[in-house]
Amino acid sequence: MSVRVTRSSARSGNATPTRSDPVVPQRSAQARADWSVLSYPTRGTCTPVRSRRTVTPPWPPTVGPSPSLHDALSKPPLEDDILAHRDEHSIEVQLPFLQELSGAVRFVPICMAFQEYDLAAEVGDLVAQTIRGKDVLLIASSDFTHVGSQYFQIAPAGVTAPAFAKGQDAKAIEQIVALDPKHFAAKVAQDDISMCGYGAVTAMLTAAKVLGAREAKLLKYATSSDVSRDTKMAVGYGAIAVYR
């Protein structure tokens, strides 16, 4: 089972090529979430949430989807879609980190393609109302700017790809740290910031604000060029923690 945005609920809009990892944890380092809601970008026309066990070897019985939380989220603008994660690998990337934090992890993954503000905010409101009063960690998974010929975005003359990516991403990060989902989504569109998953970030910020988030901090920012040393191609990555 999975959950996706129904076509009647989706307004229109397309995903732009992203991966930041904004998180909403408790301030205490000892806190552990019983549930995780993970939100990812995907291509297509749906925002699905999958509940069927994810096949990633070798997960112990204490790691897997949460049927009860999935069922609670299975309402408009979300709906079941068993194929939602067939070509999406974000879960297997995130789960090892969650398992490191806690031996018992139950989760509900949501894949987003329609990412315009109104729809993302609707998803965020639904998530917030569903998890209110529960010990839940929200994760919005997305990369940041993509720059290079293969991404159909070229840095201006005299500017390296990583420098351009950092400049673009700073504008998005400023709005995330300000806990401002509406201006964040507007800034991404206005400045053509090529984030794949800005809708997931918008939904997470919306939910976090509803649940009383008060502070966000940039933990780390880097580009692929920090490793590759490529000055003509770069992808931005960031980790941002949101606290309540």
96 is a domain residue? yes
89 is a domain residue? yes
Listed ranges 37-46, 69-78, 131-140; the one with the highest mean pLDDT: 131-140
Task: List CB contacts of 190: < 8 A, sequence separation 6 or more.
Answer: none
55 pLDDT band (50/70/90 cuts)? very low
What does the angle CA 202 – CA 207 – CA 209 come to, to the nearest 5 degrees?
Answer: 95
Beta carbons of 119 and 77 less than 8 angstroms apart: yes
Cα separation, 121 vs 190, whole angstroms: 18
Looking at the structure of the chain, the number of domains it has is 1
125 is a domain residue? yes
Mean pLDDT of 29-47: 43
The domain in which residue 123 lies consists of: 20-146+195-223+236-243
205 is a domain residue? yes
Residue 126, pLDDT > 90, answer yes
What does the angle CA 149 – CA 20 – CA 148 come to, to the nearest 5 degrees?
Answer: 5
Task: List CB contacts of 32: < 8 A, sequence separation 6 or more.
Answer: 101, 102, 135
Q: How is residue 52 annotated by DSSP?
A: S
Kindly report the pTM of this predicted structure. Answer: 0.78
**Measuring CA to CA, which residue among 43, 94, 52, 105 is closest to residue 74?**
52
CATH code, domain carrying 107: 3.40.830.10
Handedness of CA 194, 138, 127, 60 (dihedral sign): positive
Task: List CB contacts of 99: < 8 A, sequence separation 6 or more.
Answer: 59, 63, 105
121 pLDDT band (50/70/90 cuts)? very high
180 is a domain residue? no
Cα separation, 10 vs 151, whole angstroms: 26
- Top pLDDT among 180 and 83 is at 180
pLDDT of residue 96: 81
Task: Say if residue 157 is exposed, middle or buried (CB neighbours under 10 Å; 0-12, 13-18, 19+).
Answer: exposed
Residue ranges in the chain assigned as alpha helix (H): 67-73, 90-101, 117-131, 161-177, 181-190, 198-210, 225-228
Helix and strand element counts for the chain (H, E): 7, 8
Q: In degrees rounded to 5, what are phi and psi of residue 88?
A: -115, 125
pLDDT of residue 183: 97
pLDDT of residue 106: 82
7 is a domain residue? no
The two structure tokens encoding residue 131? 């998890």
